Amino acid sequence: MERIAFIGAGSMAEAIIKGWIDKNCIANEHLFITNKSDQDRLETLQQAYGVQILPNKSMLHDMDCIVLAMKPKDAKEAMIAIAPFLNKKTVVFSVLAGISIATIRSFLGNRPIARTMPNTSATIGMSASGVAFNELVDEQLRTTCLTMLQAIGTVVEVEEDQLHAVTAFSGSGPAYIYYLLEAFENVAAEVGLQQDVVRTLMVQTLAGSAAMLQTGNEEPATLRRKVTSPGGTTEAGLRALEQHEVTAAIAACVKSAEARSRELAQGI
């Protein structure tokens, strides 16, 4: 894709722009940005990344792709405003939570559409993203979109309906992990450690465990068993997790988030 315009230049747009430029996916002068009203923000991004501020909407006609990156509540107004300026081939790449491909098509016409669900770690190039494509995305375009999402982290392709589950796992997932860390820190004093010490230990434990899993050499259960000696400390800790039904709590957490994603989508 030669020229790409971001409709909405907030934090997700910046994360993607940074990832694409860092990974040489596209030259910065071929990236265009636009906002509803926040001109200062556009100038800040222009200075930071060398991207161009879209001078007027008629230039959208020259874009190969537009990225929908406003808040979902602003999407309808934004799509109505840009629809007359798109050319027939312009690809739509959406990061809007909860807005379906059918809704995008109803405002912007029948065209190739990639609907993606990144997460907040995109800001440091470590997103876990899901993506779904409509039937007009051909193999070459699909590969291009996947490559672009890999520039901000890891990506899995799913059916559009599965994006609700992706949202429940990796979209909301960072908050679950932060919540866990808060829980570890909260108990620090009771076992005689300071919170900052626990943070150092557990952040590295999370990173180390994630890195072990990323090697893909061993299953989580195998790795868990290796740490768990019979009658030892880990076994005692895991038994307490079982007694407090943590597995059931995690299942309830994911199912609630998935159901809420479906509910929110209905309301849009």
Ligand X SMILES: NC(=O)c1ccc[n+]([C@@H]2O[C@H](COP(=O)([O-])OP(=O)(O)OC[C@H]3O[C@@H](n4cnc5c(N)ncnc54)[C@H](OP(=O)(O)O)[C@@H]3O)[C@@H](O)[C@H]2O)c1
Which DSSP string do the residues of 19-35 spell out, in sequence order?
A: HHHHTTSS-GGGEEEE-
Report the alpha-carbon distance of residue 123 to residue 50 in Å, rounded.
18
CA distances, 213 to each of 36, 105, 148, 149, 230 (Å)? 42, 39, 24, 21, 23
**Which amino acid does the sequence have at 153?**
G
The phi and psi torsions of 164 (rounded to 5 degrees) equal -65, -45
For the bound state, the minimum distance from the C-beta of residue 109 to ligand X, rounded and expressed in Å, comes to 18
Asked whether position 97 contacts ligand X by CB under 6 A, the answer is: yes
Asked whether position 36 contacts ligand X by CB under 6 A, the answer is: yes
Among 5, 96, 155, 168, binds ligand X (CB under 6 A): 96
DSSP state of 96: -
Asked whether position 34 contacts ligand X by CB under 6 A, the answer is: yes
- Only one of the segments 4-12, 58-66, 102-110, 250-258 lies at the binding site for ligand X (rule: CB under 6 A); that segment is 4-12
Beta bridge partners of 157: 131
For ligand X, the closer CB: 112 or 118: 118
Residue nearest to ligand X (CB): 10
Report the alpha-carbon distance of residue 32 to residue 50 in Å, rounded.
10
Show the site string, 41-60: x = touches ligand X by CB under 6 A, - = not.
x-------------------
For the bound state, the minimum distance from the C-beta of residue 193 to ligand X, rounded and expressed in Å, comes to 32
Among 72, 112, 153, 173, binds ligand X (CB under 6 A): 72
For the bound state, the minimum distance from the C-beta of residue 70 to ligand X, rounded and expressed in Å, comes to 4
Show the site string, 116-145: x = touches ligand X by CB under 6 A, - = not.
--xxx-------------------------
Instruction: Give the three-class secondary structure for 86.
Output: coil
- Only one of the segments 93-101, 107-115, 176-184, 223-231 lies at the binding site for ligand X (rule: CB under 6 A); that segment is 93-101
- Only one of the segments 33-41, 53-61, 205-213, 226-234 lies at the binding site for ligand X (rule: CB under 6 A); that segment is 33-41
For ligand X, the closer CB: 71 or 244: 71
Report the alpha-carbon distance of residue 57 to residue 87 in Å, rounded.
12
For ligand X, the closer CB: 31 or 198: 31
The phi and psi torsions of 92 (rounded to 5 degrees) equal -110, 130
**Which amino acid does the sequence have at 44?**
T
Which DSSP string do the residues of 60-74 spell out, in sequence order?
A: GGG-SEEEE-S-HHH
Report the alpha-carbon distance of residue 141 to residue 126 in Å, rounded.
23
Dihedral class, residue 8 (left if φ above 0, else alpha if ψ from -120 to 50, else beta): left
For the bound state, the minimum distance from the C-beta of residue 123 to ligand X, rounded and expressed in Å, comes to 7
Asked whether position 154 contacts ligand X by CB under 6 A, the answer is: no
Interface residue list for ligand X (CB under 6 A): 7-13, 34-38, 41, 69-72, 74, 77-78, 81, 95-97, 118-120
